[in-house]
């Protein structure tokens, strides 16, 4: 039987001051941090102080004894970041140049000093660029010339911290006769029966040995002989329970085990969990253009999605528990789809396991983003090898429903002046429209593939045409007011978003001792977007009287309100146009460090007001007020019937009119009600409120700067597990910033609007010494200009 010996202990990192203890999995930065030799690059402007780390080579070492009683021993690295030479007692075992794949070396009977010598990823990228020629990209860093996590080189939300190291586990594998080299589970559902076909490839030491495989799932067992190095075994599970995305059904997972046999002797075992479900992508043409609708188990979905970036600049620090926490936050917000963005990595099994369990659909980008990628060697062979390996590695996960060729590269070729600069040179089209769809079709035909995001389906339409396929909506953030989200109905909005700073306690930790201001040195360093603060300021000016210079607290609150408002404007509008629009994927769920960004959860894991707004926007049932109508959005499995209370209100307090309207929204549909003309607000001093079954929508017809708000008055009292706020006047967008009370404190809700006489109880956990007066100092709401 194959035996594995972990090699995660006993490593050292060479350093001029002497060898340092090295953590494996890990990277150079984390080892230097642990030794106190570099400052924390997340704090202040320390990022610049450690830039030298990515510019030099590094060497890891340990003693290796590969002796065993078996016929072969392999040294297996699950991940080397990125350009490395592996030596044993100075003799080369091999070289690597790809962070996204495993590497295996025959070390049978060998022992001695194992050395892993990393070259700078910059040096490799620059050498490849010199060989294949210059290619355009969104950033000056040379990330498209090396198969490494692109955002290591920095992004418009991330620092430039170019890593090196043994970033995933390493082990020895001892085996005889044969081992399982690859197992591909093709999982389908046929007339209510779950079917899994396990296609097997083996590596042998003895060609003549007769081999077989035996597989078991849910009490069903099947056996098949291998023909040379390949074979297949098919299992049928009658009345298999279907795996569903969250909100549509349960997530039953089945343990499947396959054993490689020589006679009655077990040589190797493969174990995974699978789920039975069907998945399709409907891209058929219709009266509105070309659709893009995910279909799971025959059910057409409006995808409530978020984009996912690596949760840490140093991915080896992301534990199984941290993946689970972050993804559970997504599920709790109503998210049912997570897009693994193409400037990051193929995530660890822990990520996909959590998605399987939580019912989160996974849209997986291949790692290409925002650049023209050369298709010459040495890159082409590495791209194919990594694609083949990772398609097979991730196939067992029922949560994985879509392969995507790249992020924004097809769009970039058409709109970002690449075509002229390339002058006929390769730029990645051959990957996205040739190599990658061929690999997916060959290895994983049970899942759909799309060439890119955005992508209209063919060159017959502009790649980012909102009427065809997927659309990225960035003109709004970059140049327009967020009200412009309501001007169009894309078929599927795969990226859109609005910036805001992180939570106050996150800023205080990241910028110790700094007097916070929107343009203070640390704040500017932790704002990576091009003209990010300018766009934040212009976004505020369109809606609010700007806060006084130096009033950081008000600026911080208003930018977070504006972020939540912007995203709400888009999602309410697009959800109300289902099924023409079939999904929204917010940019972005998470951050990899403390930064002003588009994230709903900041780099310290704290929820912004946007996160709590997502809980409302992505709930099964949603009310969305438009100028003259109310959309009753029902994504639940049952019909929603009832009566909605519409009230025309004065901001000064009085109710000016009301009506109760009956409604019925069938399952997975949207009903639209006309707002009676006499209830439509007549000016900026009026607004409309809709209430039904505990849900509320409001519609203010003017920007806040033009609304004659009264001075808000409210009472604050302690309540079990939190506080209760009772309004005497209109209190719009009330927010408790619980982390101002205690860095560990979290509120259970975000922005809430109270009418006169209404109360809300805000739960607070992690608050060590509850005090009503202190709570009042952490409460913010909209006020008349001072």
Instruction: Count other Cβ atoms within 10 Å, centred on residue 325.
Output: 14
HSE-CB of 659 using CA atoms within 13 angstroms: 14
Distance CA(601)–CA(619), nearest Å, equals: 18
Annotated catalytic residue, options 47, 173, 382, 408: 408
Q: How far is CA 544 from CA 141, 537, 631, in A?
A: 37, 10, 27
Q: In the chain, how many H helices and how many E strands?
A: 17, 46
Choose among 492, 493, 510: nearest CA to 501.
510
Q: Which two tokens stand for residue 236?
A: 């049928």
> Judging by beta carbons within 10 Å of its beta carbon (0-12, 13-18, 19+), is residue 17 exposed, middle or buried?
exposed
Distance CA(6)–CA(75), nearest Å, equals: 10
Distance CA(416)–CA(320), nearest Å, equals: 39
The pairing of strands 621-625 and 583-586 is unpaired
Distance CA(310)–CA(346), nearest Å, equals: 9
The pairing of strands 695-699 and 449-450 is unpaired
- 253-291 residues labelled b (16+ CB within 10 A) or e (exposed): bbebebbbbeeeeebbebebebbbbbbbbebeeeeebbb
Distance CA(763)–CA(553), nearest Å, equals: 22
Distance CA(754)–CA(766), nearest Å, equals: 25
Main-chain dihedrals φ then ψ at residue 202, nearest 5 degrees: -125, 155
Q: Which two tokens stand for residue 493?
A: 């909005």
CB 507 within 8 A of CB 518: no
Q: Which two tokens stand for residue 735?
A: 């927010």
Q: Is 27 left (phi over 0), alpha (psi -120 to 50) or beta?
A: beta
**What Rg value do the Cα atoms of the chain yield, rounded?**
28
Choose among 280, 252, 272: nearest CA to 185.
272
Dihedral of the CA atoms 185, 189, 195, 199 (nearest 10)? -30
Q: Is 13 left (phi over 0), alpha (psi -120 to 50) or beta?
A: beta
- Catalytic-residue membership of 349: no
Answer whether the bond into residue 66 is a cis peptide, omega within 30°.
no
CB 454 within 8 A of CB 409: no
CB 293 within 8 A of CB 305: no
- Strand ranges (DSSP E) for 249-317? 254-262, 265-274, 279-282, 285-286, 289-290, 293-296, 299-300, 303-308
Polymer length of the chain: 786
CB 105 within 8 A of CB 74: yes
Any residues with CB less than 8 A from the CB of 105 and at least 6 apart, and which?
Answer: 74, 75, 86, 93, 94
Q: Which two tokens stand for residue 423?
A: 């002058």
Q: Which two tokens stand for residue 301?
A: 């979905």
Distance CA(433)–CA(369), nearest Å, equals: 15
Q: How far is CA 640 from CA 211, 257, 304, 623, 666, in A?
A: 58, 44, 19, 12, 6
User: Catalytic residues, which ones?
Assistant: 408
């Amino acid at each position: 039987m194959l035996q594995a010996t972990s090699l995660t202990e006993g490593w050292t990192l060479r350093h001029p001051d002497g060898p340092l203890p090295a953590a494996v999995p890990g990277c150079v930065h984390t080892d230097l941090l642990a030794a106190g030799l570099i400052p924390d690059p997340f704090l202040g402007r320390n990022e610049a102080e450690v830039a030298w780390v990515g510019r030099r080579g590094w060497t890891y070492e340990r003693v290796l004894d590969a002796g065993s009683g078996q016929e072969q021993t392999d040294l297996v690295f699950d991940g080397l970041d990125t350009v490395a030479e592996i030596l044993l007692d100075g003799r080369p075992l091999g070289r690597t140049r790809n962070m996204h794949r495993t590497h295996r070396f025959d070390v049978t009977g060998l022992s001695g000093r194992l050395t892993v010598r990393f070259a700078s990823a910059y040096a490799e990228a620059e050498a490849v660029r010199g060989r294949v020629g210059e290619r355009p990209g969104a950033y000056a860093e040379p990330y498209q010339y090396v198969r490494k996590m692109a955002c290591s080189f920095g992004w418009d939300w991330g620092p430039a911290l170019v890593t090196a190291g043994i970033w995933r586990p390493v082990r020895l594998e001892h085996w005889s006769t044969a081992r399982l080299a690859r197992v591909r589970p093709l999982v389908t559902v046929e007339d209510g029966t779950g079917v899994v076909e396990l296609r097997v490839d083996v590596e042998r030491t003895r060609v003549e040995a007769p081999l077989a495989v035996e597989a078991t799932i849910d009490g069903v067992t099947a056996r098949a002989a291998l023909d040379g190095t390949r074979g297949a075994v098919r299992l049928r599970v009658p009345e298999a329970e279907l795996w569903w995305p969250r909100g549509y059904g349960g997530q039953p997972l089945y343990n499947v085990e396959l054993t490689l046999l020589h006679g009655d002797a077990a040589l190797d075992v493969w174990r995974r969990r699978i789920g039975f479900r069907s998945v399709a992508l409907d891209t058929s043409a219709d009266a509105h253009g070309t659709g893009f609708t995910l279909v799971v188990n025959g059910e057409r979905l409006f995808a409530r999605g978020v984009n996912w970036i690596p949760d840490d600049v140093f991915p080896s620090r992301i534990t199984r528990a941290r993946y689970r926490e972050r993804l559970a936050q997504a599920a709790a917000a109503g998210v049912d789809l997570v897009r693994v963005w193409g400037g990051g990595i193929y995530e660890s099994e822990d990520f996909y396991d959590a998605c399987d369990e939580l019912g989160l659909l996974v849209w997986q980008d291949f790692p290409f983003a925002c650049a023209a990628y050369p298709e010459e060697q040495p890159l082409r062979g590495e791209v194919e090898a990594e694609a083949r390996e990772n398609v097979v590695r991730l196939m067992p996960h029922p949560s994985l429903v879509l392969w995507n060729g790249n992020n924004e590269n097809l769009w970039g070729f058409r709109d970002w002046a690449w075509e002229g600069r390339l002058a006929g040179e390769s730029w990645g089209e051959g990957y996205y429209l040739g190599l990658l769809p061929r690999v997916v079709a060959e290895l994983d035909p049970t899942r759909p593939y799309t060439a890119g995001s955005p992508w209209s389906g063919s060159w017959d339409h502009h790649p980012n045409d909102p009427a065809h396929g997927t659309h990225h909506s960035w003109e709004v953030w970059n140049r327009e007011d967020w009200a412009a989200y309501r001007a169009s109905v894309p078929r599927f909005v795969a990226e859109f978003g609005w910036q805001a700073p992180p939570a106050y306690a996150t800023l205080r930790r990241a910028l110790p001792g700094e007097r916070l201001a929107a343009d203070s040195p640390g704040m500017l360093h932790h704002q990576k977007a091009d003209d990010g603060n300018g766009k934040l300021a212009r976004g505020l000016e369109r809606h609010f009287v700007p806060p006084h210079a130096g009033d950081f607290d008000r600026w911080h609150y208003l930018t977070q309100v504006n972020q939540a408002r912007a995203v709400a404007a888009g999602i309410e509008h697009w959800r109300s146009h289902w099924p023409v629009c079939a999904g929204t994927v917010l940019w972005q769920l998470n951050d990899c460090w403390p930064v002003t960004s588009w994230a709903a959860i900041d780099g310290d894991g704290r929820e912004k007001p946007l996160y709590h707004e997502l809980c409302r926007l992505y709930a099964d049932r949603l009310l969305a007020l438009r100028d003259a109508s109310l959309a009753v959005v029902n994504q639940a499995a049952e019909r929603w019937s009832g009566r909605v209370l519409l009230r025309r209100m004065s901001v000064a307090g009085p109710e000016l009119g009301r009506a109760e309207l009956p409604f019925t929204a069938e399952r997975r549909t949207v009903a639209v009600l006309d707002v009676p003309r006499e209830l439509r607000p007549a000016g900026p001093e009026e607004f409309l409120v809709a209430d039904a079954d505990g849900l509320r929508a409001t519609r203010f017809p003017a920007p806040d700067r033009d609304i004659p708000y009264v001075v808000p008055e409210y009472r604050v009292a302690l309540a079990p597990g939190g506080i209760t706020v009772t309004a005497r006047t209109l209190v719009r967008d009330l927010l408790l910033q619980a982390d101002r009370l205690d860095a560990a404190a979290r509120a259970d809700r975000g922005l809430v609007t109270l009418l006169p006489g209404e109360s809300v109880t805000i739960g607070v956990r992690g608050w060590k010494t509850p005090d009503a007066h202190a709570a009042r100092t952490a409460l913010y709401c909209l006020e008349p200009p001072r």
